[in-house]
């Protein structure tokens, strides 16, 4: 598949190539590292399709190291241009790709499959393993359009050490920045005493993490394991917080195991985070032996909106979420989300603990009613009905209770929180433009909004399909206010008055043939029925 690059990106790329040198591997240099060693600032190392058993180091250079994907946008190059770090010359420096010499986002890695990494062990005074696939240490970088898969951090010679970042470990100080975008991060792992980030471990407060798929990564720990998919912690550096965004990611199928059930966050875990915006993410089908099957929050100030958190599982507490707030003053606000795990393990779906005051707020979400401890949170205008998905990508079905329930803004205390104008696929919210937006990461485009469907009411239409007329019978629907027939564009083409006999004759000779919906409004709920003319 080829990716079309925007015209501005093409112009910038051409300008860059005209001013810098292209170095080809293996035409100019036989190895990727030797090409990096020969490169100067602004150069691009272009690597041909092959498998390279190397552990490369950017050595502080502001250069681009890329597969031929950078030249033509063909994604087929990515899986065929492989950096395999399974044969390191130094077992203490066995990450596949290393940026540890003050690099920043001018150091770019693009278009590779990164595999076979074993991590780095020479960064601290005490033994610990970091970054199986990619290591960014007290530096920055730009990591984009890569497959980071089957890297592993595990016990060396039988010693159960702490490990962090099976796929990626990024320690980014305040004066640097990391952009991790459009990557597939899958089947990476950590095993040992304690650990974090089976897929990704982020440390710092100047990150953009977007458009990534973090799939099927694992933590297998004797003790505590934090974030089987992704773990993120701030560093408490002096000064203001940089740009912190976590958006448009899919976090799916990650699993955390702990011999003492001390797992925290099967999909994600966040600790001591300040002012993060977290939106348009899918967090689904994750598991932890502990708390927070989907996400674990530990003293986090965040805006969490338009996310779909579904079908996650925890062995202890909080299938969807586990929130631990020990320190006062942290505001964690949830709005326009779907938070629903249809898992039959009889534990709370949302688990709140350790809180000094209710600084966690849930506004306009879909959540499971029976499991929210309202004495530990502010809860308002949520829906407690199963959301209704149409596929395993968790897009909304036509009659989902999430359709049209979103808000464009909400004021909590003295602060305003806002929705995002596009969904995870780039579709504009709301759709239709004059309706209310949907909950979750996807904007469905369906037209029935804002009102819940009754479970008890029934409609019977016969004949259906009909030619000239049909009879509508209502059963167990009290206080009928109006009856409408709506076409597929959401336009009301016919209105009928309810009868005391709970039956209505539909007769419309001039109605075009096609598919319609009958909508019976009763109080604040409605019943829908498909009808064909």
Residues recorded for the chain? 533
**Residue 463 is assigned to a structural domain of this protein:** yes
Is pLDDT at 282 greater than 70 in this prediction? yes
The pLDDT tens digits for 129-152 are: 999 999 999 999 999 999 999 999
**Radius of gyration, alpha carbons of the chain:** 26
The pLDDT tens digits for 328-376 are: 667 889 999 999 998 888 888 999 887 666 578 899 999 986 555 555 7
**Residue 68 is assigned to a structural domain of this protein:** no
The pLDDT tens digits for 462-511 are: 777 777 777 777 666 556 667 777 776 566 777 776 655 566 677 666 77
Count of domains for the chain: 1
Cα 72 to Cα 4: distance, rounded to the nearest angstrom: 9
- Owning domain of residue 474: 453-532
**Residue 174 is assigned to a structural domain of this protein:** no
Amino acid 456: pLDDT: 44
Six-digit token string for 533: 């003319």
The pLDDT tens digits for 21-80 are: 999 999 999 999 999 999 999 999 999 999 999 999 999 999 999 999 999 999 999 999
pLDDT > 70: what percent of the chain?
82
For residue 19, the SS3 value is helix
Contact 101, 138 (CB under 8 A): no
**Locus of tokens 């986002």:** 105
Q: Within 13 Å of residue 215, how many CA atoms lie on the same side as its CB?
A: 10
**Residue 216 is assigned to a structural domain of this protein:** no
**Residue 485 is assigned to a structural domain of this protein:** yes
Start-to-end CA distance of the chain, whole Å, equals 42
**Residue 511 is assigned to a structural domain of this protein:** yes
Amino acid 325: pLDDT: 82
DSSP-derived letter for residue 154 is -
Cα 375 to Cα 265: distance, rounded to the nearest angstrom: 23
Backbone angles phi, psi at 275, to 5 degrees: 55, 55
Contact 225, 194 (CB under 8 A): yes
**Residue 517 is assigned to a structural domain of this protein:** yes
The pLDDT tens digits for 173-203 are: 888 999 999 999 999 999 989 999 999 999 9
Residue 200 CB neighbours (<10 A) = 33
- Please give the C-alpha separations between residue 238 and each of 141, 157, 243, 272, 330, in angstroms, as whole numbers: 21, 39, 15, 14, 18
pLDDT > 90: what percent of the chain?
55
Burial of 462 (0-12, 13-18, 19+ CB in 10 A): exposed
The pLDDT tens digits for 236-263 are: 544 455 678 899 999 999 999 999 999 9
Cα 497 to Cα 483: distance, rounded to the nearest angstrom: 6
Contact 501, 480 (CB under 8 A): no
**Residue 487 is assigned to a structural domain of this protein:** yes
Amino acid 98: pLDDT: 98
* More confident site: 213 or 157: 213
Cα 83 to Cα 63: distance, rounded to the nearest angstrom: 17
**Locus of tokens 């949520």:** 382
Is pLDDT at 450 greater than 50 in this prediction? no
Least trusted range by pLDDT, from 58-67, 93-102, 304-313, 476-485: 476-485
Cα 68 to Cα 480: distance, rounded to the nearest angstrom: 64
CATH number at residue 460: 2.60.40.3080
Q: pTM, whole model, 2 decimals?
A: 0.81
């Amino acid at each position: 598949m080829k990716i079309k690059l925007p015209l501005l990106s093409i112009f910038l790329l051409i300008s860059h190539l005209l001013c810098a040198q292209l170095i080809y591997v293996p035409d100019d240099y036989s190895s990727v590292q030797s090409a990096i060693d020969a490169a100067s600032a602004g150069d691009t190392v272009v690597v041909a399709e092959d498998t390279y058993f190397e552990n490369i180091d950017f050595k502080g250079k502001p250069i681009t190291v890329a597969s031929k994907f950078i030249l033509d946008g063909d994604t087929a190059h990515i899986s065929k241009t492989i950096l395999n770090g399974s044969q390191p010359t130094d077992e203490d420096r066995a990450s596949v790709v290393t940026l540890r010499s003050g690099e920043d986002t001018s150091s770019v890695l693009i278009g590779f499959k990164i595999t076979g990494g074993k991590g780095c062990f020479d960064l601290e005074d005490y033994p610990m393993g970091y970054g199986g696939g990619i290591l960014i240490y007290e530096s920055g970088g730009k990591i984009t359009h890569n497959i980071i898969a089957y890297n592993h951090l595990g016990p060396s010679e039988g010693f159960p050490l702490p490990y962090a970042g099976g796929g990626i470990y990024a320690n980014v100080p305040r004066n640097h920045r990391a952009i991790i975008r459009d990557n597939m991060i899958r089947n990476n792992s950590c095993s040992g005493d304690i650990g974090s980030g089976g897929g990704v471990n982020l440390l710092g407060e100047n990150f953009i993490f977007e458009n990534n798929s973090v799939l099927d990564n694992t933590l297998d720990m004797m003790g505590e394991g934090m974030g089987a998919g992704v773990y993120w912690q701030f560093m408490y550096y002096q000064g203001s917080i940089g740009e912190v965004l976590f958006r448009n990611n899919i976090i799916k199928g990650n699993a955390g195991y702990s011999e003492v059930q001390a797992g925290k966050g099967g999909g994600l875990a966040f600790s001591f985070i300040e002012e993060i915006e977290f939106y348009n993410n899918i967090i689904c089908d994750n598991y932890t032996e502990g708390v927070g099957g989907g996400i674990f929050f530990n003293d986090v100030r965040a805006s969490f909106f338009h996310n779909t958190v579904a079908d996650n599982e925890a062995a202890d507490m909080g299938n969807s979420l586990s929130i631990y707030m020990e320190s006062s003053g942290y505001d964690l606000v949830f709005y326009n989300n779907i938070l629903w795990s249809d898992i039959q393990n009889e534990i709370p779906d949302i688990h709140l603990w350790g809180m000094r005051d209710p600084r966690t707020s849930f506004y306009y979400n879909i959540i499971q009613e029976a499991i929210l401890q309202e004495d530990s949170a502010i809860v308002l205008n949520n829906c407690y009905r199963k959301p209704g998905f149409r596929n395993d990508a968790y897009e909304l079905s036509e009659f989902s209770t999430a359709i049209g329930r979103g808000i464009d803004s909400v004021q909590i205390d003295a602060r305003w929180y806002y929705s995002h104008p596009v969904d995870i696929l780039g579709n504009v919210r709301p759709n239709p433009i004059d309706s209310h937006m949907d909950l979750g990461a996807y904007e469905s485009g369906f037209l029935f909004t804002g009102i819940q469907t009754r479970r008890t009411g029934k409609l019977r239409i016969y004949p259906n399909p009909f030619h000239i007329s049909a009879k509508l019978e209502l059963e167990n629907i009290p206080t009928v206010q109006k009856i409408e027939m709506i076409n597929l564009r959401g336009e009301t083409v016919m209105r009928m008055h309810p009868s005391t006999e709970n039956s209505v004759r539909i007769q419309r000779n001039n109605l075009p043939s096609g598919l319609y919906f009958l909508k019976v409004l009763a109080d604040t709920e409605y019943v829908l029925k498909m009808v064909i003319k």
